Amino acid sequence: MKGLADPSAKDGICRACGVRLEHRSDDSRDVITARFEEYRKLTQPTLDYYRALGKLESVDAGRPIDDVTTEIATTVGRIGRTGRAAAR
């Protein structure tokens, strides 16, 4: 799973932040895969429901944190003023 802490990092140290990596017994690939599958199974119907009502807002969190924060604040402010999600 790309993007997760790499247990094979040199000397057990995270290459991204330099912190010593520790592994819990439930941090295996199979357990993490099952967690994501359960999340999708239980969450997707809720997302579909609110999307169908036009009440779901999405934010691209893959952008710089300041951009994401600004978009969230703008969206929450707009919903607070109008009581509605954006027309899509």
2 domain residue, yes or no: no
Shared-domain flag, residues 67 and 49: no
Q: What is the mean pLDDT of residues 22-47?
A: 88
**Domain of 51, in residue numbers:** 26-56
Shared-domain flag, residues 50 and 68: no
Find the largest Cα–Cα distance for the chain. 54
65 domain residue, yes or no: yes
Distance CA(76)–CA(56), nearest Å, equals: 12
* Confidence at residue 34, expressed as pLDDT on a 0 to 100 scale: 93
Query: Residue 11 above 90 pLDDT?
Result: no
Each residue of 41-55: pLDDT tens digit? Answer: 999 999 999 999 988
5 domain residue, yes or no: no
Q: What is the mean pLDDT of residues 3-18?
A: 66
Are 71 and 59 within 8 A, CB to CB?
A: yes
Percent of the chain with pLDDT over 90: 48
